[in-house]
Amino acid sequence: MRLGFAVKVLGKEGIKSSDARRWQNSPHLKFSIEYAHIVFDYLEATGITMYRLPSDFAPYLTHPDLPQFHNQLEEAHDELVELGKHAQKLNLRLSFHPSQYILLNSPNEKLTEGSIREFVAASTMLDIMGCGSEAVVVTHVGGVYGDRDGSIARFIKHYNERLPEVAKKRLVLENDDKSYGVADTLRIHKSTGVRLIFDHQHHSCINNGEMTHEEACCASLKTWGTNGRPKIHFSSPRIENRTIMRRDKETGKRKASECAPLMSQHADMVDSDVFVPFARSVRELCGIEFDVMCEAKSKDLAVLQLREDLQKAGDFVVE
């Protein structure tokens, strides 16, 4: 089992994850790659073997109004190859997770077209780096647009008919916290063959009671077949009662009012008292090995903590 985290290193100061300068200052993938080498050095030092690259790794790569950024993959080709070699030397599993604005199922033609370019670009970077099929590009189903079935059908259609092969090989689908649960991603898998990421916390958010976490997880793991070791997302909810300032209709004044606790926010650390029994149940139920992307607020620090907890548990092999 590999443990990984997303984008930002917190365990050491001064490590950037991408060239985040404004377009006026000509940021470039080449600089992001330089930063990534430093991140990889940190991963080597801490023994962390899985890492999600930032969605803006190549800044403005597909921005419709900034064509001067569109050739970065070619311009940084050799540097990408070198970065890939560095990753392989560390036996590092890499991934991308494009931002919320990238949607495969949009009815807006321009948006879908742009998103496909983005998926192709992320996939191509992994290709150039020479990564195996375990290096994936993660996405969600997308918007509902007032018609769930139609929007699921549109995802399937766009995936099957429009997504180039290079991206089909990399794209994987994750259940989300609001609109599309594991029942939906499983349905889409049947029509597309897309591999599924099980997100444990998102499953808690939707919680329709039809599938336990273990059942939903195993069903998702099975969609990988022999195409690389599956991966799940795991995080613990930040449970916190919030008070918000709401404007009172009668008086027009703002006053504090209670609000339901938010279950969708991430806690600092992964709760191993939840993770360990869950992972054991999954092992018992289907016996499929998997990697774990920790989506905790404390990022790499949460990974190091979880790794320690797993070593104490004694019955997990952490790579």
Partner DNA sequence: CGATGTCAAGGAATC
Partner DNA sequence: GATTCCTTGACATCG
Q: Which residues bind DNA (CB under 7 A)?
A: 8, 16-17, 20-25, 55-56, 59-64, 99-103, 106, 108, 111, 118, 142-146, 179, 262, 264-266, 297
Task: Determine the Cα–Cα distance for residues 42 and 302; give it in Å rounded to an integer.
Answer: 15
Nearer to DNA, 226 or 241 (CB): 241
Angle at 312 between CA 307 and CA 315, to 5 degrees: 90
Query: What's the closest the beta carbon of residue 276 comes to DNA, in angstroms?
Result: 24
User: How many other C-beta atoms are found inside a 10 Å radius of the C-beta of residue 204?
Assistant: 16
What is the DSSP secondary-structure string of 154-178?
Answer: HHHHHHHHHS-HHHHTTEEEE--SS
Q: Locate all alpha helices (DSSP H) within 12-169, ordered by sequence.
A: 29-46, 72-75, 77-89, 109-128, 148-162, 165-168
Which lies closer to DNA via its Cβ, residue 85 or residue 246? 246
Whole-number minimum distance, CB 304 to DNA, in Å? 17
Shortest Å distance, C-beta 108 to DNA:
6
In terms of Cβ atoms closer than 10 Å to its own Cβ (0-12, 13-18, 19+), residue 313 is middle
The amino acid present at 72, given as its one-letter code, is: Q
Judged by beta carbon, residue 61 or residue 83, the one nearer DNA is 61
Nearest distance in Å: CB 23, DNA: 5
How many C-beta neighbours within 10 Å does residue 314 have?
6
> Looking at beta carbons only, is 220 or 235 nearer to DNA?
235
Distance of alpha carbon 164 from its chain centroid, rounded?
A: 21
Residue nearer to DNA on the CB measure, 263 or 313: 263
Q: What angle do CA 235, 240, 245 make, to 5 degrees?
A: 130
Cα 7 to Cα 69: distance, rounded to the nearest angstrom: 22
Structure tokens at 158: 């766009």
| Beta carbon nearer to DNA, 97 or 189 | 97
- For residue 305, the SS3 value is helix
Q: Which is nearer to DNA, 27 or 230 (CB)?
A: 27
Least distance CB 52 / DNA (angstroms) = 12
User: Minimum Å distance from CB 308 to DNA?
Assistant: 22
Smallest gap from Cβ 275 to DNA, in A, equals: 19
